[in-house]
Amino acid sequence: MNKITKYLNQHINGQVFDRPSILRAYSRDKSVIEVTPRLVALPADTDDIEFLVKFSSDLSDKGFNLPITVRGAGNSKTGACLGEGMIISTERLNKIEEVDEHGKLVRVQAGVTLEKLNAVLAAYNLNLPIRANEKETIGGLISTFPTDPYAKKYGSIFYFVDRLELVLSNGSLVQTVSFTKNGLKMAEKRPELEGKIYHELNNLIVENADVIENLKSSAHSRAGYNMISQVKKDEQGTFDLLPLFFGAEGTLGIITEVILRVEPIPRSSKHVLAAFPTLNKATDYMKKIASLAPATLEVFDTRIFKIAAKHGKNLGLLEPLIDNGYYVLAGFNDGFFSSSKKLRQALGIGANAASITVENNINADDFKEIYTLVDCYLNDENSMERPSLVDDFYMGHDGLIKFAEKLKIIEKVLGQELPIFGSFATSIYTVRPNFDLSDVAERKHAMQFLRYFGKIVKECGGSFAGGSSEGRVKGLVSTPELTTREHALYDKVKKLFDPHNILNPETKLGATFSDVVRHLRTSENQGIK
């Protein structure tokens, strides 16, 4: 145990580790890279995080660099929760502090998982209507800002967060508050970094009003700190730091507590499954179905299920599997009569489908198995995960067909299939290439693919970092696409909140090809779904 580890363990309630076996356990997430940290800290409370961050900040003042990366469940697909300095894991900050049943509010620590939260809320007939990995933490959902399949109906995680408590880069604890103009003037007088942030950020927003106005029209991108466009509401005369931390990936501060607004548990969805021989016909159907306001509306290339069948999976409802076609899955969770009516309408709209099936009490389990088949596809026959390089990109309805055509060209060049799947309702899709990262040439091809894929997404009017923040990997493509003034604005925001550049410095604006290539893992992640 080195001197720093001993010192930190003497001053916090949690623990700090430098044991190689523990460092290796925190060297991976769900991305294609691997970064071994110098230290791993498991704080027991917010006081621990304040001390750890202030320690790192004080070291920077003395010319010693110990950067910090905050980590929740370790589910980032872009390397955002990996770092070479000190990992601060929020896994022990997992308490649900308070539930206000009547106000439909809940106060939780950042390390609480979506699974635990909804299990506790169920006792009050409440729910956070976000469809994501149940092991994802609330802090992680805010930091990566994913657009989940329910977002079209319920809104993403952004619409359910009322307030944040967080630790700034100097170790001070702050809470986000919605200020009036007079309140903002008082906040600007607060001591040290917090007051400076309020004062200078307000000036940045005023000076870059035209840039920020353009950001509002490009809301599909999670790159940089584009949520700065939501900080100041001129029509309401309010100023709130809260939006800025969505998609910030721990680069501006470390979230410790969250107050969430929650909803009554929604009805279970009833689904309709329709098969089409072409994406054009599937798209026509989905555009019509969208008018019925489904809770979810998803599309899957049938090749996904062919691969699952090769792994021995029973295709159930998908038998017989149509060749080179697409399945559309729409879910409705309105009231009983309204959902029944919409399902009948969906059947009528899909009269020309190759096949169409409505969920009922007999086949309900078969509908659930569709997602099991997708999980099977994401892993090859040796249970190794397909590399997550280009998950969760945005592609508008008008560009989807053009994009699929360009994707076929890449398939021919690579000599591998690249079936697309995702949410038509939110326009967020995923493609999983099958590169062998243990091979040097394959790793090179993976990086070439990343660049070219980002290019065709942009050509078709999409956004590469559209469904979640960019992290290290997607930042290689999304950061160069920023305008000069956008990049300059984001750089000033980062320097304002983190003058020593100690908070996750290689993520977002700091991502480089040399860094990512240096850390590409040479073996697959096992057992990840």
pLDDT digits (tens, 9 = 90+) for 36-46: 999 999 999 99
Which of 421, 440, 459 represents a domain boundary (last residue)? 440
pLDDT given at position 438:
85
Q: Are the C-beta atoms of residues 238 and 179 closer than 8 Å to each other?
A: yes
**Least confident window among 155-164, 171-180, 304-313, 484-493:** 304-313
Decide if 43 is inside a domain.
Answer: yes
CA–CA distance, 366 with 355 (Å, rounded to integer):
16
What residues contact 95, with CB distance under 8 A and at least 6 apart? 108, 109, 112
What residues contact 133, with CB distance under 8 A and at least 6 apart? 73, 75, 114
Give residue 380's pLDDT band: very low, low, confident or very high (50, 70, 90): low
Decide if 347 is inside a domain.
Answer: yes
Decide if 427 is inside a domain.
Answer: yes
**508-529 average pLDDT score:** 75
pLDDT digits (tens, 9 = 90+) for 427-454: 999 999 999 888 889 989 999 999 999 9
Decide if 20 is inside a domain.
Answer: yes
**Least confident window among 63-72, 89-98, 161-170, 225-234:** 225-234
**180-208 average pLDDT score:** 94
Which of 419, 440, 461 represents a domain boundary (last residue)? 440
The dihedral region occupied by 385, where left means phi > 0, alpha psi between -120 and 50, and beta the remainder, is: beta
Residues counted in the chain: 529
**90-116 average pLDDT score:** 97
pLDDT given at position 437:
86
Decide if 367 is inside a domain.
Answer: yes
Q: Would you say residue 528 has pLDDT above 70?
A: no
**Least confident window among 225-234, 314-323, 352-361, 458-467:** 314-323
Give residue 323's pLDDT band: very low, low, confident or very high (50, 70, 90): confident
pLDDT > 90: what percent of the chain? 84
Who has greater pLDDT, 502 or 381?
Answer: 502
Q: Would you say residue 529 has pLDDT above 50?
A: no
CA–CA distance, 19 with 508 (Å, rounded to integer):
29
Domain residues for the domain of 282 are 270-440
Decide if 26 is inside a domain.
Answer: yes
The dihedral region occupied by 523, where left means phi > 0, alpha psi between -120 and 50, and beta the remainder, is: beta
Q: What is the CATH number of the domain that holds 352?
A: 3.30.70.3450
**Least confident window among 82-91, 263-272, 371-380:** 371-380
pLDDT > 70: what percent of the chain? 97
Which of 412, 440, 468 represents a domain boundary (last residue)? 440
Decide if 120 is inside a domain.
Answer: no
Q: What is the CATH number of the domain that holds 46?
A: 3.30.43.10
Decide if 179 is inside a domain.
Answer: no
Q: Would you say residue 128 has pLDDT above 50?
A: yes
Q: Are the C-beta atoms of residues 383 and 389 closer than 8 Å to each other?
A: no
- The structure's pTM equals 0.94
CA–CA distance, 510 with 478 (Å, rounded to integer):
12
Report the number of distinct structural domains present in the chain.
2
